[in-house]
Structure 1
Amino acid sequence: MAYIFSFIDRQIMGALSPSIKADLGFEDWQLGLLKGFGFALLYTTVGIPIAWLADRYSRIKIISISVFFWSLFTAFTGMANSFTSMLIARTGVGIGEAGGSPPSHSIISDLYPKEKRASALGVYSLGIPIGIAFSYILAGILVETLGWRGTLIALGVAGVVLALIIALAVREPKRGQMEGDNIVLEPVSIGKSIKTLAKIPSWWAMCMGIAWVSFGGYAVANWGVDYIVRFLPEYAPGVGNGKFRWLMLMLGSIHLVGYGAGTYYGAVITEKLAKKNISAYGWLPGAVLIIGVPALIGAFWVQNIYLHLALITVYLISAGVYLGPSFAAAQTLAPINMRAMSTALFFLILNLIALGGGPSYIGLLSSALTGHYGEVHALRLAITS
């Protein structure tokens, strides 16, 4: 639930972007920074000291405090009246979300043996497609009744309630309990953790592979709605014909079904193949993208909304496959007393490149090309690149 909420609060800006642009008059480069580096810069760096705490202290407390903090700043985002104030609020959301995944991955690794970690983390990773799906669906339901501001405030209040439930209902497992009774865990410094993990070639290669796949994924997730409402203005929010709500429902559904299926079955299939050859953790997530990436590019050159959504679905199925295997590898390759740190460093690399770079890059390039190509084709070229 915490991971679902983190992705709702993270991705809702992509769904609300046309409404924010119409209300506050932001340019694409400003929207790109709000969706990208404004959120990701401190999200990635603050994750390192939080992971250091999670390898030593109560992970449940860290998660509940983090959910409370990012939910509060989600509500503050809805109150912002300028680019600067919204950028500060989005940075606050990023700082809060930094405390979500590192302790969560560490907890799950203490609940499941390494042979079952890919599927367990695959289930946890369903928070991504479910969260993204609900960000679209909730935007479609709420934005035309509460407005973009009311939508963000409502999500913030719901997150605060969830934080209290986590603090009261979830128990902390014994650290290292799946590794045997004779495990002696010594605290490790941040510097030593970084040096140890950086010397594991498969860990490093996995991080870089995921980062560049996700660069495109985050770019499209944050700009896909903007592209559609520019290309087909009848789907814009506030037109009153019901098409925006339909579009949000369709985007939510294909993320839930397509991305969800790729995430879950990718983890399960990889786990089975890895029993014969452990290299499946690397080659299977890469191989499916041979189909997925051309479908992603093609989606922005077709002229039909249904074909666009179909091609996006093909891409989402392939894009979900890496999540469970990669998260499991990050945990299994890392020493027990560095697991939260492994996830934090993993997300540092992933999100600086992908979550920070992808949306920001599209916004900057689209702004640069708009004068010559117009808003629609400029955004199409930026996404294609």
Structure 2
Amino acid sequence: MTDISNAAAPSTEQSSQPASSRYSYFVLGVLTLVYTFNFIDRQIIAILSPAIKEDLGLSDSMLGLLKGLAFAVLYTTLGIPIAWLADRWNRVNIIAISLALWSGFTALSGITTTATQLALARIGVGIGEAGCSPPAHSLISDYFPKEKRASALAIYSLGIPFGQMFAFLAGGWVLQELGWRNAFFVVGIPGVLLAIIMKLAIREPIRGAQDVQATTVQPVKFSQGLKQLMTIPTYWGVIAGVTFASFTGYGTGLWIVDFYRRTYELSYVEITVPLALLNGVAYGIGTYLGGYLTDRLGKKGKGAYGWVPALGMLLTIPCGWLSLWSPNALGAFLWSAPFLIGLGMYLGPGFSLVQTLAPIKLRAFATAFFFLILNLIALGFGPLWVGALSDIFAADYGEVTGLRIAMTTLAAFSLLSAGAFYWTSLKLPADWAKATGER
């Protein structure tokens, strides 16, 4: 089997020493901006969904397929070979190329005229986005030590609420004023320019520089690293916790505009402006809070990396129910705030655990395998789950109540997530000690 360190020798583009704190946060800021564009381009179809449904005459099941599985299939499967490459080649180049690719396909979505063409464009977006997070997580772990990774990856994960916020703001206004096709152009084209800026601004660091001296990193064969990864109980616990949490997140986020449009008959701007603020503020607070609390409380006990997100997911259950069944839009928006705070709290802890528990030479692969399971199940089937159930329940209860019932079932996945994270909190101290040498 090939030694995964064969192509990892420092190139002329690699930093020979760990980066300064100031530059580390600059890199983190650029990567967070890239991730913001990642979620702008991923979220935009949910905002345009009611107009696409009306224009192309689609069912909720077909919309769920376009929002989820069409995007997720190649996004998840290509993540593995791209991560294999990222563990061997320049990660900055991979992210820059991927950003240009998914932004271009987002813009091309604006010229589609059929569901098939739109599905192909979404597949293209998924191919590009497969090259974002695995190498980005690996880069961040080489710029920040393990004691700060939950906070650093929580900041990176702010790209999710920020991306959704900007998608709601730009997408809602452009949709109402210029139509859904032009919205794809507006959010897609700037990403190509950002790809150029990123390539010029970020240096490739030495792998493992924040964990041990680079000269002491022992070569690890792919098969040995994979075997080690598969035998870490809490790695699987984190995968389960994040997957179930993301099922709730994607099932809600990719249908929320349809929900407000049908249930309360609001205009697009009346829907997207409040949702932009809620995602940018409430979801952002929850995302940062999860990373901050676990890094702080984790100094006293590593189990905090499991029980903090577990509490967050428990919070989403009553708040989500109250939001979905509110008799008016104001109540629905207000209860969405604590729902989004709770939903954001798993991101930093979950992502940081993957990087800390994984062998240094397999960090990008560990993240890609993690995203393979998470996104194939959560992103691929979360929106489809809601869409298919909505069609089923609509036959007896109508489109409004049918969608409400379908989205309410997501509470079960929040409960499963909380259970998986709590189980992880019990097993984590032992696995953390094995991975880091800390006792």
Bin for the TM-score computed over the shorter chain: over 0.9
Q: Structure 2: where are the runs of 5+ without partners?
A: 1-32, 410-439
**Residue 3 of structure 2 aligns with which residue?**
none
Query: How much has 1:311 moved relative to structure 2?
Result: 1.1
1:348 maps to amino acid:
L
Q: TM-score, normalised by structure 1?
A: 0.95
Bigger mean CA offset, 114-123 vs 133-142: 133-142
**Residue 163 of structure 1 aligns with which residue?**
195
Q: Deviations over 1:259-304 (max 9, x none)?
A: 1001111111111111001000001110232222111122111111
CA separation in 2, counterparts of 1:346 and 1:192? 18
Question: In the alignment, is the contact (CA less than 8 A) between 2:312 and 2:346 conserved in 1?
Answer: no
Tell me the secondary structure at the aligned position of residue 363 of structure 1. Answer: helix
2:402 is the alignment partner of 1:378: yes
Question: In the alignment, is the contact (CA less than 8 A) between 1:188 and 1:338 conserved in 2?
Answer: no
Residues 22 and 112 of structure 1, relative CA distance in 2, 3 Å threshold: same
Out of 300, 321, 325, the position equivalent to 1:301 is 325
Tell me the secondary structure at the aligned position of residue 369 of structure 2. Answer: helix
Query: How much has 1:192 moved relative to structure 2?
Result: 4.8
1:184 maps to amino acid:
V
Q: Structure 1: where are the runs of 5+ without partners?
A: 237-243
CA separation in 2, counterparts of 1:72 and 1:269? 38
CA separation in 1, counterparts of 2:256 and 2:47? 9
Query: How much has 1:323 moved relative to structure 2?
Result: 0.7
**Percent of pairs identical after alignment?**
48
Matches within 5 A, 1:1-385: 1-181=33-213, 182-186=215-219, 188-189=221-222, 192-233=224-265, 235-236=266-267, 244-385=268-409
| Matched length | 376
Q: Deviations over 1:354-385 (max 9, x none)?
A: 11111011111112222222111111111112
Tell me the secondary structure at the aligned position of residue 58 of structure 2. Answer: coil
CA separation in 1, counterparts of 2:59 and 2:151? 42
Give RMSD over aligned pairs.
1.3
CA separation in 2, counterparts of 1:78 and 1:160? 16
Q: Deviations over 1:33-92 (max 9, x none)?
A: 011111111111100000000000000000000001101110121111111111111011
Residues 55 and 230 of structure 1, relative CA distance in 2, 3 Å threshold: same
Residues 9 and 193 of structure 1, relative CA distance in 2, 3 Å threshold: farther
Question: In the alignment, is the contact (CA less than 8 A) between 1:227 and 1:379 conserved in 2?
Answer: yes
Query: How much has 1:137 moved relative to structure 2?
Result: 0.8
Bigger mean CA offset, 145-154 vs 102-111: 145-154
1:117 maps to amino acid:
R
Larger relative contact order, structure 1 or 2 (CA cutoff 8 Å, min sep 6): 1
Tell me the secondary structure at the aligned position of residue 275 of structure 1. Answer: coil
Tell me the secondary structure at the aligned position of residue 179 of structure 1. Answer: coil
**Residue 435 of structure 2 aligns with which residue?**
none
CA separation in 2, counterparts of 1:289 and 1:139? 28
Residues 328 and 172 of structure 1, relative CA distance in 2, 3 Å threshold: same
